[in-house]
Structures are given as structure tokens and as C-alpha cells.
Structure 1
Amino acid sequence: MPWTAADVPDQTGRVALVTGANTGLGLETAAVLAGRGATVVLACRDPEKAKAAAERIGGRTELLALDLASLASVREAAEEVRQRFERLDLLINNAGVMIPPHQRTADGFELQLGTNHLGHFALTGLLLDRLRDVPGSRVVVVASMAHRQARNGINFDDLQWERRYSRMGAYAQSKLANLMFMYELQRRLAAAEAETVALAAHPGFSTTDLTRYVPAPLRPFNTLLAAPFGQPADRGALPTLRAATDPLAMGAHYYGPDGPFEMRGWPVLKASSAAAHDESAQQRLWTISEELTGVRYA
């Protein structure tokens, strides 16, 4: 039997923070969790869109201003969470950008690395003490099957793409960084005997506004592929929901669709690339991420 949203257990009494919860996968993830009784914190960059999402979702939802492309915003958001909540049960690092023109974050990082990886790295580190002693707590990182395109791993010699920018190359590396962060975080949590575990998921080819930066000449091709290979956002959110709530899920598990090329289907355990499992690269990325963000994990 396929795993569906109906398999999400009761979440009453749990607190879940979902980044990028005002649209797409984040919205669908937050809606299911709220529907199962969780208090869901919608951590979003646009307050008006977040408010509209909360009205659509209903249930116990709270709003949190968060711009992952600004470390100042990340720190302010984390401090607000710490003031409002004594514990977190779920931290779902969902928000992201995909293949934009070359841009920098407020802190000077390449936008995709800064938003998809460094912003979430900082947020997780600043909130980890609200998770680590909570039984059943989880950190879920939303990655992408595009991580496989970073076949040579992380280019540490040009991490910020200052020499020659590739939209897809930068996106693939940021998603590889997501997985490497998850595996290293899980190893450290296990060594510390923390209650929290770290997992990851990818949505396959989901039709969301994440593709808004696809160059105009490629948009008809993207639309053409969506019909036979894509799936709607509510289906694309299922791997994330399974990683977050399946009682049988364990640390370092990685979920994705079971269909052809992992583009669509029901959520099952998947394998990530060899580059994602390079422990020396994971540790190097961790050290660099601490240096760049100024967030050091206890």
C-alpha cells in the first residue's frame, strides 16, 4: 500500500516550524501537519503571503518573519522562536530558490548556497537546543534529485561561484550541501545521544513556483515535461511528510518518489549520490558553514 497523507499520525501537542510555508511544498506540508493537530509556525519572507497561507490552512498556525538570504533575519527569527516556544518537535527546512540569475545574499553569499544551505544551517544551529531533548523530534532537510548533477562534489575552491556562474551547477551544489549537512548533523546528534534525528526528502518533479527562474526559452519544454513526469505540490510534499512523521523513519533516512527517475510517485526510501556520503567533505563543509555564518553548534 502506498504511503499517503492519511498515514500521518496525530500531531496534537507538537510544534512544527516549516520554512517557506506560504506556497508550494511548504504550504502543503504545513496544511497536513496543522490538519493533524500540530501547532505550525509558518516561517516566510513575505508577511502578507504568510497571512494568506495561514487563513487557507486554518488550525493552529503562527507566523514568523524569516528571510534565509539574510543572517540578521535568521538570527531575529530564531530569537523570536526561542521567546515564543520552549520546545520544537519538527524543524522542516523546506524553503529554497532554484536557478536564478547570479545574485548575492545580504551577507555576500551566492544566493542559492546562501538561501538553500547556509541560511538553514544557521537556523538549525540556533534552534537545536529547542529540539535535542524532545523525544521524537526531527530536523527534515528538503533536498532535490538535482544533487546528483554535482558529480564532482562541492567546489570548495570557488564556493561562491565568483569565477564562472552556472545556474544549474550552483543549484545542484546547494542541494548536495543540504544532504551533506543532514548526514553530518545526524552523525553528531547520534554521537551526543540526542533525542533529535536528522532526515531528508526530495519532491521529485513537482509543479510549484520554484521554477519561476527557468529561462524563457526553456519554459515550454518544462511545461511539456510536467504532464507525463511531474506531480502536484500535495504529492510532492509526501516525502517530506513521511520523513517528518512516519514512526518507522530513522536518522539519515532519505525519502523520494518511487516512480520513474524519481520524478513522481509515492514516498519511499531512496539512496543519495556517492558525493553526498563523502564524510571528509561533509566535515569540511560543516567547518566552512560555521565560519561563514558565525553559528557554531554546541
Structure 2
Amino acid sequence: MLSISDFSEMCCLSPQTLRFYHSEGLLVPAAVDEQTGYRSYTFDQIERAMLITVLRGTGMSVKLVRRALDEPDTANALLQQHTLEMQRQREAQDEAIRDARELLTSWPEARVHHVPEMTVVSKLVPGPSAGPDEYDWDQADTAMSATVREVIETVRSCGAVVSGTPWRAPAIETVEQKTRNLTTTGPHWLVKVPVTANEDTLAALPGDVEVQTFEARTELSIFVPGRSSMAKYGSALSRLIAHPLDDAFIDFSRIRQVLHDDGVETAVAICRLDEADVAG
């Protein structure tokens, strides 16, 4: 039998770690003295300790390691599942590092630019199944990307050409959309895909999409790298609001978010005060 001290040295596991593994049922001593509480181990347990160390080194939780050891037939599948999760985490960390580097190097600045008139194909994005007190931006982005792909495939199959970067806009173009937009299930967004096509091609598009004319306008926009989040969205709005404009104001009812490959550009229409007076 090996004392906990000797077993600790042989396995390169601290006594504290061995006590923790014992409490978690991961590595139970061969014997525990009832009077002193001293733990003793056998040489046979060194192999299990080594395997635990290897699996824990992959980042697997104690619970997952215990399951892999208790159910050897599922160990490879559990390791594969854990590997995929670790890859997703590393990809997210790499993306966060790129975003941080870009933000620290050059903080995004708002810019004024002209957007020409264009023909767009619009489609509602299915609303996320978020709870009443949260909005899942990752889930929304996944649904958004899927809808953009669907629209692009649809227009191309009908012979139209995608002529610009897609964007999303709040689903508030009709009374029904405005009502449903206020619910947790939505839908909350519309995707818009700029296209070039003749009238016959546009007429051949299916009924679940709508052909619209996006009117030319001057915009104030700001690009924020990386995935969407409420914090990034709020930061973009804050920068847009703070940007000085001469004899003009921004119209948030005509907000859109251009979906670039490396981030999101939030844009709002600029209205000149003299134009607003004429319209009124």
C-alpha cells in the first residue's frame, strides 16, 4: 500500500487534488483509516490516476472524466464531443482576440456617406426562442445567416445577380410586423439582399420574399468588428448619436445593419432639417 504522500509523488498529483478526486468519486483510495482518516492507495491505481491526469489535461470536467472512466464504451465518443467543444471555444477566443486587437488599435469612427438607390429582395427572419428577459444574439445571428443564404440561393436560382452586401433591418414595415416585433418570439428582423435582375426574373421569385426599392439616401454609419452583441449594438448607437451633424438629424426609424464577413456596420438615414420641414 502507498500512503497519500507517496502516491502523490508517483502520480504528480498533490494531496489536495487526491482528496478532491476522492470526494468526487473519481479516484477512491484503496483504504481509509477509520481513526486517522489517512488514505492509502495501491500500485494498480497509478494507471487510473495517470489516465485521469491525461483526460483532465484535455480540459474535460471531473464529471465528464468520471463518466468516461465508468463507461469505457462511451469514452471515445465523449472525448470527441469534448474536442469539438474545445475547438469551438478556441475559435471564439481567436475571434475575440482579433476583435480586441482591432478595437485597441483603432476605435471605430462614424462616417457619412451616400447610398445609391437599389433593388432588394426582403424576407422575414424567424424569431429566436429567447426568454422574456434576454435576447440571444448568437441564436439570432444563426437564424439571420441561414435566411441570407436562403435568399441568395433563391435569387440566383431564378437568374438574378446579388449586387451588394446583405443587411438586416427591424421588422416594422407593416402593422402586423410592428405588433409581432414587440413580442419575445418576433420575428424581429428582415434581411435585405441587393440584386440586379430584369422584371421577368423578379416576377418569378417565390411568394415568401418581397421585391422592394431601397431609396437613395445619405447615411451615418459605424463598423464594429466581430459577432453581434447588445454591448456592441449599444456602443454603435452611442457613437452615432454623439456624432455632430450640421442642420441635420439621424432617423432611427430607418436603421439597418450591413452584414459584413468580419463585422456589422450599423447605419441610419440622415435627414436635413430643411427636407424635414418640407415633408412636414
User: TM-score if structure 1 supplies the norm length?
Assistant: 0.22
User: TM-score if structure 2 supplies the norm length?
Assistant: 0.23
In our comparison, the structure showing a higher alpha carbon Rg is 2
The structure where strand makes up a greater share of residues is 2
